[in-house]
C-alpha cells in the first residue's frame, strides 16, 4: 500500500489518511469483508502518529466503510464500495464540475465549447 500525503494541502493529515484508505478500498486494494491494516501497522509503515491514524479510521467507521470486529481489528464492510461510489457521485459536482467551469472561464472557453469537449471525451472513451 502507498500513501500519497500532501503537506501543502489545506486538508488536515487525518482526513488525508482517511481518503487514502478509502481509495485503497475503492480500487480493490482491500476486498469487502477483508481486514484492513491496524492503526499501529499504518502508523509504523508511514511514520504517522497513531492518534492521527485512528482519527482518520474513525471517519471511515462513521461512514460505515470499515467496521470494528471486537478483538480482531478493522474490516471492510459489505457495501463499502457502493457507499464510496454514492459518496463520490455526490461530491462529483463540487470536486470536478465547479473547478472545470472555473478553469474554463479563466481560459475564455464558452459553455458550448465545454459541452463539445465533454461530448468528445465520451466518444473517445468508448
Partner 1 sequence: MNELKLTEVKKHYGNKSVLDGVTVQLQPNTIYGLLGRNGAGKSTLLNIVTNRIPATAGSVTMNDRDVTNNDEALQQMYLMSEANLYNPRLRVNEIFKETARMYGGFNFGLASRLAHEFGLNVNARNGKLSTGYRSIYKLIVALCVPADYIFLDEPTLGLDANHRDLFYRTLMDTYAERPRTFVIATHLIEEIAHIIERLVIIKTGSVLVDSSVEETLAQSHVILGPQAEVAAYTAGLNVIGEESLGQLKVRYVYGALDDKILPDTVRIDGMDLQKLFIELTNEEGDEHVI
Residues found near partner 1 in the complex (CB under 8 A): 5, 7-14, 39-40, 43-52, 102, 105-106
At its nearest, how many Å lie between partner 1 and the CB of residue 53?
A: 9
Nearer to partner 1, 11 or 31 (CB): 11
Residues 6 or more apart whose CB falls under 8 angstroms from that of 52 comprise 13, 14, 17
Q: Which residue has the cell 475564455?
A: 108
Nearer to partner 1, 53 or 84 (CB): 53
At its nearest, how many Å lie between partner 1 and the CB of residue 114?
A: 17
Nearer to partner 1, 17 or 84 (CB): 17
At its nearest, how many Å lie between partner 1 and the CB of residue 61?
A: 18
Nearer to partner 1, 33 or 50 (CB): 50
Of 72, 99, 100, 84, whose CA–CA distance to 18 is shortest?
84
Amino acid at each position: 500500500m502507498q500513501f500519497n500525503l500532501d503537506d501543502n494541502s489545506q486538508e488536515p493529515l487525518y482526513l488525508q489518511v482517511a481518503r487514502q484508505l478509502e481509495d485503497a478500498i475503492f480500487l480493490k486494494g482491500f476486498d469487502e469483508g477483508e481486514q484492513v491494516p491496524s492503526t499501529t501497522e499504518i502508523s509504523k509503515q508511514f511514520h504517522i502518529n497513531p492518534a492521527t491514524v485512528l482519527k482518520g479510521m474513525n471517519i471511515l467507521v462513521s461512514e460505515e466503510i470499515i467496521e470494528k470486529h471486537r478483538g480482531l481489528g478493522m474490516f471492510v464492510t459489505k457495501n463499502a464500495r457502493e457507499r464510496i461510489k454514492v459518496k463520490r457521485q455526490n461530491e462529483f459536482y463540487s470536486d470536478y464540475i465547479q473547478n472545470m467551469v472555473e478553469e474554463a472561464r479563466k481560459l475564455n472557453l464558452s459553455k458550448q465549447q465545454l459541452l463539445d469537449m465533454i461530448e468528445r471525451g465520451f466518444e473517445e472513451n468508448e
